[in-house]
Amino acid sequence: MYLLIMLLINGKLSASATLLEEVCHQTEDPAFCLKVLGSDPRTKNAGLPELAQITIDLGSYSDREAAGHLKRGEYTDLNVDGGLAGQDGHDCEDAFKEPPAYRSPLTKENYRLMRFGEIIIIIANLLG
């Protein structure tokens, strides 16, 4: 762990399998994280800030100002953005459970939003 911290501080660690795995294995669904982030060609040479931007792009966080928080190094705010996005997914899914309950047509999208929010939180914590 000390080596990882030192490499991150020095900015010499890219999104090699090690960095991507470090982030993804902290999530509730590592396979989802590895598949989605690993499939983006930008991930190959990305550091943590770039992984955060890729996640923001894939999760469409533009309304949350997450990209601005990332760019300005406001990692606490970025963490909050991730939490709010994930909560939006939970809230939307829960809304379909209210009487009269319906099967949510957005379950897949809500799941992705929750996972992207979680990834943002993990990266923000690693950056902060």
Per residue in 54-91, pLDDT (tens digit) is 999 998 866 568 999 999 999 999 999 999 999 999 99
Provide the residue ranges of all domains of the chain, joining segments of one domain with +. 13-127
**65, burial (CB in 10 Å: exposed 0-12, middle 13-18, buried 19+):** middle
pLDDT value for 59: 86
Assess whether pLDDT exceeds 90 at residue 113: yes
**Quick one: angle between helices 48-59 and 107-127, nearest 10?**
160
Q: Which fold has domain 13-127?
A: Butyryl-CoA Dehydrogenase, subunit A; domain 3 (1.20.140)
Q: Residue 62 has what pLDDT?
A: 60
Q: Are 41 and 49 in contact (CB under 8 A)?
A: no
